[in-house]
Amino acid sequence: MAKEEKKYNKNLVVVIAAVAATGGLLFGFDTGVISGAIPFFQQDFQLSNSMVENITTAGLVGAVIGAMFTGRLSDIFGRKKTILAASIIFVLGAVWSGWAPTANDLLYSRLFIGLAIGISSFSVPLYIAEISPTKMRGQLVSLFQLLITIGILVSYLSDLTFAKNNDLSSWRPMFYMGVIPGLILLTGMLFLPETPRWLMSKGREDESRQILKRIEDPVLVEDSIRRMKEEIAKYKERPGISEIFKPWLRTALIIAVGIMFFQQFVGINTVIYYSPKIFMIVGFEGARAGIWGAVSVGVVNVLFTVLSLFLIDKIGRRKLYFIGLSGIVFSLFALGMVFAFHTTLGDLGKWMAILFVWVYIAFFAISLGPLGWLIISEVFPQRVRGLGSSIGSLANWFFNGLVAFTFFKIIKLFTASGKGIITHEQIYDAATNSFTVQAIDNGNPAGAFWFYAVIGVLGLIWGYFYLPETKGVPLEKIEEHWRQGRKSRDLKE
Ligand code: BGC
């Protein structure tokens, strides 16, 4: 009976986490979908490159705003309501962007969707972390990352499905597709409970206990309630925004911002979003080959994120971090070498570039990808967990933007004049309303990859001092650890 009961609990929490993790699908889909849509709406609305750039950046700006202003709201109104609000924005934003009668509508609708991406990117991991049994927390929160990677892949596939060369409005169904996962998240969340920890922080002990009984290992229910009560009793005043900047939470803040810095500054999105270009630079002919290259990257990303689900609660966060980041540093260094010697390597260079891109993605997928979102949902104390993890998420979007903004500048900085790699690409010319083949000097990304590799090495050192081993540690015990002023690396099960 006990065994059956436990199994039932496990299935229930997996379902709860999977429904909430649909927020990750939207995150991945909505950040990925734009790249395939650009050539179509640019031609449809006759847009200049700078307007296209504005539309692309609008999503990122929205995400920053979403993460910046809603963390505190999720502490006040609850995790469930925050995710519900995000799902409504996702649905409305998808309809608006698909229907957009003008380029300005497209810009504002992308900004609007960005808000939902920003909100869901911290509230979903947070929701799952607070509702998971301690032993499975890593695995369940990582479902969020798994769905991000699936979302990115689905966006490529949907772009491939809807892209029709002779139909300029092809971009519309690409954006409309976002309605489906949005509705799944919205309806699913209506049926999910609030997290027992948030309820408890609002003094709703009975409701909290009812939910805990359904999801936690039965022998741990009263223990969890007791720990939560003890933690709450330690606070004298009402929580305010300043709480998060108090000295005892400095380490938690450094961890949340630090892990997001390294997650983004190893250049993940330059590899993901520029991968078609990377494949073209190394000599695979034509845009189609480029897109298929990107799909292959998406598949590797999904498969290795699945693997991470089985590792994260077994071998732990620190080991995964060090293994993953070492692999990332190695493959970035190797990628740099391939580009530095691409003329000597010839055809072999092409295959080596692809191989190292895959190796890079695989190591990211088992480590920094899931760990970033997991760690920010774990390290803050109950009363400011929403605010804290939203700061982590804000850092993520900020660094993401900074890497995107500086990538080409870094390439240029490290390319000796006249040594850039030339590709021949079809470029849309708004003045003549036609595509022409132009020679493009891409610079040489070798220096940029080495630069990211060096940052990765710094990440290894940072991780030694700051990355906590939260595997198997109840959230309340993590809180206690900071309160005692202890070192991050001394946290243990
Ligand atoms: C990162 C994204 C990235 C994705 C790739 C996420 O954890 O935050 O920036 O695009 O992983 O899988």
CATH number at residue 77: 1.20.1250.20
What pLDDT, on the 0 to 100 scale, is given for residue 185?
Answer: 96
Buried b (16+ CB within 10 A) or exposed e, 364-399: bbbbbbbbbbbbbbbbbbbbbbbbbbbbbbbbbbbb
- Could you list the mean pLDDT of each consecutive 10-residue stretch along the chain, which spans 493 residues? 56 93 95 86 89 90 93 92 97 97 97 96 95 93 97 90 82 94 96 94 91 86 86 70 87 97 96 76 67 86 97 96 98 94 84 92 98 97 92 95 89 81 69 71 88 98 97 92 92 86
Do residues 398 and 430 touch, judged by C-beta distance below 8 A? Answer: no
Do residues 156 and 32 touch, judged by C-beta distance below 8 A? Answer: yes
Atom index in ligand 1 nearest the CA of residue 273 equals 10
d(CA 103, CA 38): 12
CA–centroid distance, 77 to ligand 1, in Å, is 28
d(CA 407, CA 467): 27
Q: 149 CB under 6 A from ligand 1?
A: yes
Q: 251 CB under 6 A from ligand 1?
A: no
Give CA torsion, residues 207, 70, 390, 57, to 10 deg: 140
Q: What type of residue is 103? A: A
CA–centroid distance, 269 to ligand 1, in Å, is 7
Closest CA to 174 of 39, 45, 52: 39
Q: How far is CA 360 from CA 15, 148, 282, 453, 473, in A?
A: 31, 17, 17, 11, 30
Q: Which residue in this structure is represented by tokens 């962007």?
A: 97
pTM: 0.92
d(CA 32, CA 305): 17
H/E stretch holding 437: strand 434-441
Structure tokens that stand for 225 in this block: 């309630």
H/E stretch holding 250: helix 250-265
Closest CA to 228 of 255, 198, 254: 198
Per the structure, how many domains does the chain have?
1
Do residues 131 and 196 touch, judged by C-beta distance below 8 A? Answer: yes
H/E stretch holding 174: helix 171-176
What pLDDT, on the 0 to 100 scale, is given for residue 230?
Answer: 82
Instruction: Specify the 3-state DSSP secondary structure of 438.
Output: strand
How many Cβ atoms are within 10 Å of 424's Cβ, its own excluded? 12
Residue with CA closest to ligand 1 atom 11: 369
Closest CA to 452 of 185, 200, 274, 187: 274
CA–centroid distance, 146 to ligand 1, in Å, is 10
Structure tokens that stand for 66 in this block: 């979403």
Q: How far is CA 472 from CA 195, 248, 263, 451, 475, in A?
A: 19, 22, 23, 35, 9
What pLDDT, on the 0 to 100 scale, is given for residue 427?
Answer: 66
CA–centroid distance, 30 to ligand 1, in Å, is 12
Residue range of the domain that includes 480:
2-490
CA–centroid distance, 436 to ligand 1, in Å, is 34
Do residues 66 and 116 touch, judged by C-beta distance below 8 A? Answer: yes
d(CA 255, CA 249): 10
Structure tokens that stand for 481 in this block: 């650890």
What pLDDT, on the 0 to 100 scale, is given for residue 28?
Answer: 95
What pLDDT, on the 0 to 100 scale, is given for residue 429?
Answer: 63
Buried b (16+ CB within 10 A) or exposed e, 72-94: bbbbeebbbebbbbbbebbbbbb
H/E stretch holding 152: helix 137-162
CA–centroid distance, 24 to ligand 1, in Å, is 10
Q: 470 CB under 6 A from ligand 1?
A: no
d(CA 444, CA 380): 42
Residue with CA closest to ligand 1 atom 7: 369
Q: Which residue in this structure is represented by tokens 């480029």?
A: 290
The sign one gets for the Cα dihedral 379, 381, 385, 390 is negative
d(CA 443, CA 422): 8
What pLDDT, on the 0 to 100 scale, is given for residue 123?
Answer: 95
Q: 396 CB under 6 A from ligand 1?
A: yes
Q: 400 CB under 6 A from ligand 1?
A: yes
Q: 268 CB under 6 A from ligand 1?
A: yes
What pLDDT, on the 0 to 100 scale, is given for residue 18?
Answer: 95
CA–centroid distance, 369 to ligand 1, in Å, is 6
Full 3-state SS string of 73-114: HHHHHCHHHHHHHHHHHHHHHHHHHHHCCCHHHHHHHHHHHH
Substitution site in 120, 269, 397 for ligand 1 pocket (most atoms within 8 Å of beta carbon)? 269
Within 8 A by CB and 6+ apart from 361, the residues are 271, 272, 297, 300, 301, 304
d(CA 273, CA 59): 15
What pLDDT, on the 0 to 100 scale, is given for residue 288?
Answer: 64
CA–centroid distance, 71 to ligand 1, in Å, is 20
Ramachandran region, residue 47 (left: φ > 0; alpha: ψ -120 to 50; beta: rest)? beta
